Amino acid sequence: MSLVLVLDGRSRAALQIVRSLGEKGIKVIIGNDYWICSSFFSKYVYRRILYPDPKSIKFKKFIFSFLKNNKIDTIIPVRDDTTIFCAKYKKELSKFTNLIISDYETIMIGRDKSKTVIEAEKYGVPCPKTTTVKSKKELLNTNIPFPLVLKPAISSGSRGIYIIYNHIALRGVADKIFKEYDKYLVQEFIPSKKTVGVNVLFDDQNNLKAIFTYTRLREYPRYGGPSVLRESTHDEEVKKLALRLFKKLRWKGVAMAEFKIDERDNVPKLMEINPRFWGSLALPIYAGVDFPFLLYQLVKGKDVKKVDTYKIGVKARWLLLGDLLWLIKSKNITKDFKEFIKIFDKKQTYDIISIFDPLPSIGAILEGFQFIFNPEKRKHAFKRGAISN
């Protein structure tokens, strides 16, 4: 009996992995660090487990004990903490299960944006002009022209990001930003109306097995954050740049790279790497690139042919709760509401909503109530960067 352990059940990507594998008869055990999450409601779940905080030593003890007592074909991390855990302990985990993931040092190149920029520039992948600062003094002495972007070296979901337009605003944030993050990137602001994502899968020998590109149509926050509506594309230039970097890094497993197309010179500029499964996973699966199942086949030793063709112009939407937040933050509610209510589109799927697996929508709504009534979770949802004039 095939058993797969998927971590981070609260992630949209985890739900897509559960559905992808479960539909094919693979038994999926889903884990999370609290009970109310959308993936736990899926009909494709074989078993649900609750584990300790992934940052804690208790998590390590739990995972190794679970693997010793259960025959698991593969373990699939989804969010940053569990991905880092699996990379860090890959050798030890491989004694009990199979997994395809880059080494810890490589994962951290993707996780730490300052390291990402260094590697990208080394291999000729265009990036915004960037400097790294670790103190208020270094920040105020930066020579990056305004407008500029302040970005934590290690963060996710656009948290801790500021767009700064003048010295007054820069001094206004200088005292507070290092209280939460140790290291910041100061980057030139890239004027852009187009953001392109590249999804990749490599086998354990760094051979490309799948690649997919898409364009973001809506984001939350609106000036740069996770996509809430996106559309499949074929962007060959961006593909080449992403592959150049991932090949040089000898990447293994899945990853995502994000590029903004610079309006000034029409050159794609690398913004970041996600060294793990991405929140917008529903789109490539719907368009014809089933990353979770391809990864599973690789783990099982199957001969997987490269997948680089798929449907163009299909869309995926994060209605619960990303697109709702996009609407709530609207400055032109009449105009945006007209776009928001475009629900019935034959070429559109949803990150969570599904008529074939409807209950995760209830889980997402319950999660939403958690964010409303829990101050820490509410901060996590809404604190995604700021514009300082």
- Where is pLDDT greater, at 384 or 98? 98
In the block, tokens 């209280």 appear at 179
Task: Note whether residue 292 is domain-resident.
Answer: yes
| The total number of structural domains that make up the chain | 2
180-200 pLDDT tens trace: 899 999 999 999 999 999 999
Question: How does residue 158 score in pLDDT terms, banded at 50, 70 and 90?
Answer: confident
Q: Of the given ranges (2-6, 269-273, 324-328), which has the lowest mean pLDDT?
A: 324-328
Task: Note whether residue 300 is domain-resident.
Answer: yes
Is 270 in contact with 116 (CB distance < 8 Å)?
A: yes
Task: Note whether residue 286 is domain-resident.
Answer: yes
Q: In this structure, what CATH number is given to the domain that contains residue 18?
A: 3.40.50.20
> What is residue 25's three-state secondary structure?
coil
Task: Note whether residue 85 is domain-resident.
Answer: yes
Is 101 in contact with 87 (CB distance < 8 Å)?
A: yes
Q: Phi-psi region for residue 137, left (φ > 0), alpha (ψ -120 to 50) or beta?
A: alpha
Query: Residue 221: what pLDDT?
Result: 83
Task: Note whether residue 33 is domain-resident.
Answer: yes
Quick one: 88 and 227 in the same domain? no
Q: Which domain range does residue 342 map to?
A: 195-357
Quick one: 229 and 333 in the same domain? yes
CB atoms within 10 A of CB 333: 12
Is 48 in contact with 383 (CB distance < 8 Å)?
A: no
Does the pLDDT at position 115 exceed 90? Answer: yes
Question: How does residue 380 score in pLDDT terms, banded at 50, 70 and 90?
Answer: low
Buried b (16+ CB within 10 A) or exposed e, 280-313: bbbbbbbbebbbbbbbbebbeeeebeebeebeee
Task: Note whether residue 383 is domain-resident.
Answer: no
* Sequence-separated (6 or more) residues with CB below 8 Å from residue 108: 84, 115
Does the pLDDT at position 319 exceed 50? Answer: yes
216-267 pLDDT tens trace: 999 988 877 889 999 999 999 999 999 999 999 999 999 999 999 999 999 9
Does the pLDDT at position 383 exceed 70? Answer: no
Q: In this structure, what CATH number is given to the domain that contains residue 301?
A: 3.30.470.20
Query: Residue 389: what pLDDT?
Result: 47
Query: Residue 339: what pLDDT?
Result: 87
Query: Residue 387: what pLDDT?
Result: 54
Task: Note whether residue 183 is domain-resident.
Answer: no
In the block, tokens 């103190």 appear at 135
Does the pLDDT at position 175 exceed 90? Answer: no
Does the pLDDT at position 384 exceed 80? Answer: no
- The CA radius of gyration of the chain, in Å to the nearest whole number, is 20
Does the pLDDT at position 338 exceed 80? Answer: yes
Does the pLDDT at position 296 exceed 80? Answer: yes
Quick one: 93 and 200 in the same domain? no
Quick one: 230 and 353 in the same domain? yes
Give percent of the chain with pLDDT exceeding 70.
95
In the chain, what is the straight-line distance between the N-terminal and C-terminal CA atoms, in Å? 58
Quick one: 227 and 337 in the same domain? yes
Quick one: 336 and 211 in the same domain? yes
Task: Note whether residue 143 is domain-resident.
Answer: no
Domain's final residue, options 99, 117, 133: 99
d(CA 17, CA 297): 13
> What is residue 60's three-state secondary structure?
helix
